[in-house]
């Protein structure tokens, strides 16, 4: 069995750009951290995706790439997407609107997933009537 290729190491950092070693309990207690300091940077997620794929887990890699796209979205937008994807909560047109918004927001992998969900929901009869 051939070993999996090694990904280039990436220095861990937060969405804010702050290095991981600066995110400490002391910094939290002192109020020196922001929400962006506690969120993962999209490049870290893309790196984790490459590692997952190199080690034989392409589905995890795909999920991590979609997560990287979502880091640019506001929390409320991510929750709205989640709510729209719950069976029976959206019509096909509403899911298409979510996918179009994701494409506009440079999240094509997430847009494709929403469209795939719409197709599956339609086939299974779990789209919202209308």
**CATH H-level superfamily of 72-123:** Propanediol/glycerol dehydratase, small subunit (1.10.1510.20)
Query: For residue range 2-14, what is the model confidence (pLDDT) as tens digits?
Result: 444 556 667 888 8
pLDDT of residue 11: 80
pLDDT of residue 4: 46
Measure the CA–CA gap between 112 and 62, rounded to whole angstroms: 12
Which position has the token pair 């179009």?
100
3-class DSSP state for residue 19? strand
Strand intervals (E) in 1-130 = none
Measure the CA–CA gap between 118 and 93, rounded to whole angstroms: 9
Q: Greatest CA separation found in the chain? A: 54
Burial class of residue 21 in the structure, from the number of CB atoms within 10 Å of its CB (0-12 exposed, 13-18 middle, 19+ buried): exposed
Low-confidence ranges of the chain (pLDDT < 70): 1-9
**Whole-model pTM over 0.85:** no
Strand pairing partners for 13?
Answer: 19
Name the residue ranges covered by the structural domains of the chain. Answer: 9-67, 72-123
Measure the CA–CA gap between 84 and 101, rounded to whole angstroms: 13
């Amino acid at each position: 069995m051939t070993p999996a290729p090694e990904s280039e190491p990436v220095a861990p950092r937060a969405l804010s750009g702050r290095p991981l070693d600066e995110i400490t309990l002391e910094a939290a207690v002192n109020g020196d951290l922001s929400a962006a300091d506690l969120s993962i940077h999209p490049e870290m997620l893309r790196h984790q995706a490459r590692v997952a794929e190199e080690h034989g887990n392409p589905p995890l890699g795909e999920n991590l790439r979609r997560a990287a796209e979502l880091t640019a979205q506001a929390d409320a937008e991510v929750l709205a997407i989640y709510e729209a994807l719950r069976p029976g909560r959206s019509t096909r047109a509403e899911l298409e609107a979510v996918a179009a918004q994701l494409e506009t927001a440079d999240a094509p992998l997430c847009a494709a997933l929403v469209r795939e969900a719409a197709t599956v929901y339609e086939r299974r009869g779990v789209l919202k009537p209308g």
